[in-house]
Amino acid sequence: MRFHSLRARIAVVIVLLMLAAQVAGYIVISSVIRTNARSNSEEQLSVAERVFRQVLHSNGEKLTQAAGVVAADFGFREAVATHDENTVVSALKNHGDRIQADIVMLADLDGKLVADSRGPAREGRPFPFPSLITAATRQGDASTIGMIDGRLYQLVAVPVRAPLTIAWVAMGFLINDNTAREMASLTSLDVSFLDRRPDDRWSMLASSLPEKRDVRGDVARLGEENYATRVILLQSSGEPMAVMLQRSLRAAMAPFHRLQSALLVITLCGVLLSIAGSVATARSVTRPIAALTRFSRRVGLGDYAEPIEITHHDEVGELAKAFNHMQDGISERERRITELAYMDRLTGLSNRAMFNDRLQQAIENALQTERPFSVMMMDLDRFKDVNDTLGHPIGDQLLCEVAKRLLATLHRSTDLVARLGGDEFAVLLSTDDIDAAQLVAQRILKTLEQPITIEGQLVDVGASIGIVAFPENGLDMNVLLRRADIAMYVAKRSNAGYAVYDEKHDQNSSERLSLMSELRQAVEHDQLMLHYQPKMDLATRTVKYVEALVRWDHPTRGFVPPDQFIPFAEQTGYIKAISHWVAEKAIQQCAAWRANGIELAVSVNVSARELIQSSLPDTFAALLEKYDVAPEMMWIEITESAIMDDPNHAIETLDRLHALGIRLAVDDFGTGYSSLSYLKRMPVDELKIDKSFVMGMALHKDDETIVRSTIDLGHNMGLKVVAEGVESEEILTRLKELGCDLVQGFHLSRALAPSMLEAWLLDWEIANSMVPSEQVGPGSI
């Protein structure tokens, strides 16, 4: 065919048009493939991020739970308090081994390591993450990710309380290349852990990549052009840290290369074929591509319900199969993620998260249908003995056997059994009332009474079950769980097997709420009163100081002792209102006495909660100005245990109070866990020896030794020393011989109302003016 012929020109034009169309189609299709590949990669990154966060959260909960168990163990707390290092190290090792923790540490209140699983050589060194302890002080527990000895760890810290915080337990998992590879196997992505160096260089600490490298610049730009990247900043102590998830776009595009080759072949063939063949070929290609695009968008939105249906047996069909395989893979990974999030790995039962979800659904359904349901909390008896005697592997097998028996006892698919943690289980009976739940509890207990043999060992274990019903025992999930827990401990204490919740078992019942309301009314309507107990100067036998003590004469309950309503007020937070009332009344009374010519300095007690409040100095400054009372006429007494709750905030508050001119005293000295390093930092003027030591002086030489040592310590530090609890002339005389400065107690006088105190002071002055000082005593007044 000659080129100048019409057919040739038409052929050339058609070929050129077909070529342009095919090339354009090729470009569009390649763009769609790249877009979909990146979209799928981004979806995988989103899924991987959720997996990573869940695994990190799960590990944190596992560490917190294990650390909480060892911190709550009575024997461990006793060992910490008595400095039994061997027991402490053994307990930490056992609990750490149980969850395969890579590092276990115990820090004292000074932030020094008492025990460290890395070896005894590190004992006495500073705890590597003091900010972790600070966060745990505020929150009850805390977690972080940080570097120790050049290695990356996920750490948690919880307090050891007895009942005050005496130490901190920290546990952690090592984060290394194996950790990165495990997470990479879950997410099907590359995982890298990064930290920022002082020179602004980001270093890969652990990675699933074959080669590590350092990079500069913003962490958000660490990804390369050939990778889909997601960077997650981690909560860490010290240098900033992050985790980088990467999906190779080249790998993501690999399944599509064959399609691109096929499109190129189709393009060349279309040039040689007729227009009809070209149109048919284009149509056969564009239709399945459109279907693939729709399918990709649906998968991008999280809809994995239907596979793509393409009957082609060519490359497009292969691409459709690849898309379907990709959909199945994503769906399977999400299903696995759900299992990890809602299933207990040891027993195969639901975990706490799943149980809480199902319980909340049951509450919502019951509110609509008005049908009752019940919840049971179960704790195994003697499980700790099994662990301690036979070992944790036997204990784990026992938990699995108990889980099987629980499942076998419940026959309905609507019932749910969950392991909440440790040896604690929960059962949701979605259609049973309280009577039916008791029958189920009896059946469970009977099932557990059957012998359990594990590896040839006969294991004897029982259970204690607490039962609550909806709506009788509460309409809220947290209320139901708390009350079921209360009932379970009632059953354990009474050895009854199971117990149904009763309000009389709940210390936070309506009686306590009523007391709270009445206490608030007592403050608001001035129903409380202050009595004042005098303090005598042993050198001059003068009384220039009194201690204000709050009293509550309830109109119906009668006299309510302070040791009943003061701790309750501290627990509920109402102590702030009571403390403000006491401070104002004491300062007002001091001003009234001064106006009548009576010079008496008044001391008031401040709780731990008040001591860490930054507003306390401002409150006293305002009251002193309001009633025109000199600051030196006011004394504030704080217990050493209150100081040790939060030493830094406490000392800061004390410094501000001292700057106002207010005198400060440490009450009940010798009964807490205070450190002399803190005592010498505090701007106190006086130490008060706890009355238990003073009252025991006549009978126990050890008590007298403590009193003598405290007096010497106080004088050596330039402080006055007060002995409270003086109840006999013998003790009074001995305290004078020991050089004590001031005394108070029933031998001198009880706490008196203001008018009675004024009369007592007059009798005291008359008696002292008539009798020689060496003969004057309470009996001569």
Instruction: Answer whether 105's CB lies under 8 Å from 130's CB.
Output: no
Burial class (CB in 10 A: 0-12, 13-18, 19+), 416: buried
Closest CA to 28 of 285, 400, 393: 285
Asked if residue 153 belongs to a domain, the reply is no
Q: What is the pLDDT of residue 117?
A: 84
- Clarify whether residues 364 and 323 are in a common domain: no
Q: What is the pLDDT of residue 554?
A: 81
Expressed as residue numbers, the domain containing 23 is: 6-39+256-341
Asked if residue 86 belongs to a domain, the reply is no
Name the β-bridge partners of 419: 425
- Clarify whether residues 277 and 359 are in a common domain: no
Q: Please count the CA atoms within 13 angstroms of the CA of 525 that sit on its side-chain side.
A: 11
- Clarify whether residues 543 and 475 are in a common domain: no
Instruction: Answer whether 656's CB lies under 8 Å from 674's CB.
Output: no
- Clarify whether residues 548 and 633 are in a common domain: yes
Q: How far apart are CA 657 and CA 743, in angstroms?
A: 25
Q: How far apart are CA 574 and CA 568, in angstroms?
A: 8
Q: How far apart are CA 668 and CA 671, in angstroms?
A: 6
Q: How far apart are CA 342 and CA 416, in angstroms?
A: 13
Asked if residue 591 belongs to a domain, the reply is yes
Cβ density class 639-666: b for 16+ within 10 Å, e for less = bbbbbbbbbeebbebbebbbeeebbbbb
Domain end among 279, 307, 341: 341
Burial class (CB in 10 A: 0-12, 13-18, 19+), 669: buried
| Integer Rg of the chain from CA | 38
Q: How far apart are the first and last CA of the chain?
A: 143
Q: What is the pLDDT of residue 773?
A: 47
Domain end among 311, 341, 371: 341
CB atoms within 10 A of CB 338: 12
Asked if residue 97 belongs to a domain, the reply is no
- Clarify whether residues 673 and 707 are in a common domain: yes
As given in the structure block, the two tokens for residue 18 are 């077909």
φ, ψ of residue 453 to 5 degrees: the values are -115, 125
Q: What is the pLDDT of residue 216?
A: 45
As given in the structure block, the two tokens for residue 709 are 């040592």
- Clarify whether residues 292 and 398 are in a common domain: no
- Clarify whether residues 445 and 313 are in a common domain: no
Residue corresponding to tokens 């309503």? 565
Q: What is the pLDDT of residue 6?
A: 40
Global confidence as pTM: 0.41
Q: How far apart are CA 391 and CA 385, in angstroms?
A: 9
| CA torsion through residues 179, 181, 183, 186, sign | negative
Instruction: Answer whether 632's CB lies under 8 Å from 661's CB.
Output: yes
Instruction: Answer whether 690's CB lies under 8 Å from 668's CB.
Output: yes
Domain end among 314, 341, 368: 341
Q: Which residues of the chain have pLDDT under 50?
A: 1-3, 5-8, 10, 216-221, 223, 673-674, 773-781
As given in the structure block, the two tokens for residue 139 are 């929150």
As given in the structure block, the two tokens for residue 292 are 């693939």
Instruction: Answer whether 480's CB lies under 8 Å from 359's CB.
Output: yes
Q: What is the pLDDT of residue 181?
A: 87
Provide the phi-psi class of 334: left if phi over 0, else alpha when psi is between -120 and 50, else beta. alpha
Question: CA torsion angle for 172, 177, 183, 184 (degrees, to 10)?
Answer: 170
- Clarify whether residues 377 and 278 are in a common domain: no
Closest CA to 376 of 430, 336, 333, 337: 430
- Clarify whether residues 744 and 632 are in a common domain: yes
Instruction: Answer whether 611's CB lies under 8 Å from 653's CB.
Output: yes
Residue corresponding to tokens 């989103």? 46
Q: Please count the CA atoms within 13 angstroms of the CA of 115 that sit on its side-chain side.
A: 25
DSSP state of 343: B
As given in the structure block, the two tokens for residue 520 are 């608030």
Instruction: Name every residue whose Cβ is closer than 8 Å to that of residue 3 and which is 6 or more positions away in sequence.
Output: 9, 12
Domain count, the chain: 3
Q: Which CATH number goes with the domain that contains 450?
A: 3.30.70.270
DSSP state of 113: E
- Clarify whether residues 624 and 715 are in a common domain: yes
Closest CA to 236 of 214, 205, 213: 205
Q: How far apart are CA 105 and CA 74, in angstroms?
A: 18
Asked if residue 79 belongs to a domain, the reply is no
Asked if residue 160 belongs to a domain, the reply is no
Alpha carbon separation from 37 to 227, 249, 323 (Å, rounded): 11, 7, 10
Instruction: Name every residue whose Cβ is closer than 8 Å to that of residue 465 and which is 6 or more positions away in sequence.
Output: 376, 377, 378, 441, 444, 445, 488, 491, 497, 498, 499
How far, rounded to the nearest angstrom, does the alpha carbon of residue 326 sit from its chain's CA centroid? 39
Q: What is the pLDDT of residue 214?
A: 52
Asked if residue 634 belongs to a domain, the reply is yes
* 3-class secondary-structure state, position 734: helix
Q: How far apart are CA 648 and CA 653, in angstroms?
A: 9
- What would the 3-class secondary structure string for 380-440 be? EECHHHHHHHHCHHHHHHHHHHHHHHHHHHCCCCCCEEEEEECCEEEEEECCCCHHHHHHH
- Clarify whether residues 604 and 752 are in a common domain: yes
- Clarify whether residues 629 and 495 are in a common domain: no
Q: What is the pLDDT of residue 740?
A: 96
Asked if residue 22 belongs to a domain, the reply is yes
Q: How far apart are CA 726 and CA 735, in angstroms?
A: 9
Q: What is the pLDDT of residue 313?
A: 66
